[in-house]
Structure 1
């Protein structure tokens, strides 16, 4: 995104009468308002491919930005056949590009948790949004076919000498006593070719918290300058004690040798700065490849258990070459965008055109106010958004829901240039905290009117960000009348 385009977008927005438009290069780091077990793969085609747990199917998403993951284009790539062994409790899918093909590794069962196993889907198409992901079957050590979830692939070496290893969380036997981290060699992306080896079990107090059962799960490979790490989740995922631990492989050692892995004696990423129970992460690079980012889920508020949102933030490396994740970033304060991402226009809701009972009131919003009263047929909040090029843009809405309505359906209708543009859903924001929801906005070159109208329930609006990076999709001609 050029500075000229960013400046022109700002000029267009101001010229259409919205004094609240600002050019910004930061964001509030909730990248999905509800979800768990995020996996992000930055492919060499320039897309970030994204999956996370839905519980019922596998949805593949793609985005050009990390900060806009929640507004990614999406498609359902696998819908299990009802009544089959892998048709229920579909957890933690991961998409990998291995040896010229696309694979998705995902846990599923038949409705009985004890029957959870890892399965693999395969797609030979060059573009994972083309072709079909077909179920190849279970991926397991035949000699120790036990409960298994959270499978990932550790890649070591390159080219013809590349070696693949499957890492996952599983039970030692047939009872849910604890979850351990296992590794096994892979003969190819579809097959485990040797016995499983235990790398870690919960032993430290921070790993056994909230048990039984005690938990080591979600192992994620992280490699830099030849050093190999496995970052995993520990403690009960339903508890405020959930956190990340780490295993480090000795230089040049065999990853199948348990003695070659060293476990940290304390969490490497844990609750802090108002963020509770960060866990189950993945790692990616900024669009320009200059920064490392961790994408993870965290509880929406203390005691919320499996009610979680997905966050993202950068991390660094210490003098010994170990990852330094710091503390979780509070979504109450914006952080810089990933390097190489386009800028965005920020519109404060109190500076928008307000109709009907919609009104601005002072609060702790980003501009010192928020908009309430989006109820009744005449209520509207309308932003005047100007962009240089027509296309489908990602809009990020900072919102807050009523704590008493945590389980209610809450959404608002979107109108773009007088045409219905779908709805925007507002998940529980976390006990009165601010969160971020996403929408895809079909905008024309030049001025546009983006309106929010009442739907179900109530939500307060703080601001609208429009990411200035459209894919160039054609949008319909403008309408002259509002679809009230």
Structure 2
């Protein structure tokens, strides 16, 4: 059995840990204010909205329903409280949750099993908490052409609402264009649709069909920034483009919208096919963040994950997104999020055939693994000053042959082991597995044992859920 190694000594660490209620073993834990992408290890089309109650409301494509997560932190979205809403239909794509005129609205696309029949729909909930109350079906959101439509979003300028979406000009999938129309309320379009973007540049037309989709709007100063996705979503060429308009312009005139000739966010630094982004702020409102999906591997197509990173602004009030940050680089946590206790995977106690080994991409150059038999385990001790709900997030990897998902079994303080899911994207290609856990005051023992397939642990972060 491998003993824990001492990395921190003295009372300073203990004081820092106690300051927010978590006092991990001084010999194995450290206080950190950074994290590693990924934040959600599987999924696409992320939408994150920070409400006035201080919570993030998050959703993504799940395919057969709309699921909403509620979280105090951006980095902890995956472990948030959640609820699933049945919508009927099939192929539920790119839902978004908006708060408009004192009520909650979910916009989503669905069809009857035939993609040619994809249309936009909306649900309404007047409860203060969208995870409670009743979601009322407000029906289809459409203009008078009633053509193929996906990725709908709402732009509000003053008291006026506009609907922006990706659609077909006719009844055949030649190209996806972006359209805008005026709304009289959150579920009714009252003007003709106006085309504001068609695929035209080489980076928009390098795959068939040609694609403009995933429109998202961020207003800064007098500039409306419409960030959209272009190229084939199934390719490494998927990227983000930018269209702008003056907030005082006639937004139903195509000439009011001006497209940049180059993408503003594209594959780089080992991240492939970044796209379909949403935009929000840090918990304290001082920082701007992009939430986007990308391919899990080079050329992995629609097998995607979700990342976040900060961005800045140009002098002309347009976003400066930079490039996707490298997968093994540390990122400062969004401002206002709590510090976290980090325990390196190799700092655990090992049993059976499990042991620590070298990791070229690991945070400390080592990882916990080889949990390959029923009697193998790695466990970690965490001292907590105050009992409560915590998020346990582990940087994990799975390269099990012919298995999309692996599990380790996790037990907290001797509880019945439960699955801890790890997506398959290869060894040393680290993702993130999360679980919301209740920890008691004092010492807590978290143990990982053999599940289905194989998994490795680079590090574990623990921080308050609320």
Shorter-chain TM band: over 0.9
**Residue ranges of structure 1 left out of the alignment (5+ in a row):** 82-86, 472-484
Using structure 1 for the length normalisation, give the TM-score: 0.91
Question: How far, CA to CA, are the matches of 1:402 and 1:457 in structure 2?
Answer: 9
Question: 1:31 and 1:11 mapped to 2: Cα distance?
Answer: 22
- With over 3 angstroms needed to count, the CA separation of the structure-2 counterparts of 1:89 and 1:11, relative to structure 1, is closer
Gaps of 5+ in 2: 1-13
- Asked if structure 2 preserves the Cα contact closer than 8 Å seen for 1:104 and 1:122, the reply is yes
**Residue 10 of structure 1 contacts residue 22 of structure 1 at CA under 8 Å; is this kept in 2?**
no
> Per-residue displacement from partner, 1:330-352 (whole Å, max 9, x unpaired)?
22111100111111011111111
Match of 2:83 among 64, 75, 81: 75
Q: Equivalent residue for 2:369? A: 372
Deviation at 1:73, TM superposition (A): 1.3
CA distance in 2, matches of 1:421, 1:70: 20
**1:171-190, aligned counterparts within 5 Å?**
171-190=168-187
CA gap 1:238/1:72 in 2 versus in 1, 3 angstroms? same
CA contact (8 A) 1:399 1:429 kept: no
SS at match of 2:63: coil
1:197 aligns with 2:191: no
* Distance (Å, rounded) in 1 between the aligned partners of 2:340 and 2:258: 43
The Cα offsets for residues 437-456 of structure 1, whole Å up to 9 and x where unpaired, read as: 11111101221111111110
Q: Is the 8 A contact 2:18 2:385 kept in 1?
A: no
Match of 1:338 in 2: 334
Deviation at 1:226, TM superposition (A): 2.8
Report the CA distance shift for 1:11/1:301 in structure 2 as closer, same or farther (over 3 A): closer
* CA deviation string 1:167-207 (max 9, x = no partner): 01000000000000011111001111111110001000001
The alpha-carbon deviation at position 4 of structure 1 amounts to 5.4
2:123 is matched with 121
Q: Which of these residues, 7, 18, 21, is aligned with residue 29 of structure 2? A: 21
Task: Provide Cα deviations, 1:207-265, integer angstroms capped at 9, x if missing partner.
Answer: 1122x100000000011123211000000000110000010003521111110111000
The match for 2:204 among 198, 204, 207 is 207
Q: Which residue of 1 aligns with 2:155?
A: 154
Secondary structure at the aligned position of 1:256 is classed as coil
The DSSP-based 3-state class of the residue aligned with 2:401 is helix
* Correspondence for 1:474: none
CA drift of 1:431 comes to: 6.6
Q: 2 CA distance for matches of 1:104 and 1:5?
A: 41
Question: Which of 14, 23, 29 is the equivalent residue of 1:12?
Answer: 23
Q: 1:431 to 1:247 in 2, by over 3 A?
A: farther
User: Structure 2: how far apart are the matches of 1:431 and 1:358?
Assistant: 16
Q: Take 1:367 and 1:4, find their aligned partners in 2: how far apart are those partners?
A: 24
Aligned pair count reads: 452
Residues 83-102 of structure 1 aligned to structure 2 (within 5 Å): 87-102=89-104
Measure, in 2, the Cα distance between the counterparts of 1:362 and 1:114. Answer: 50
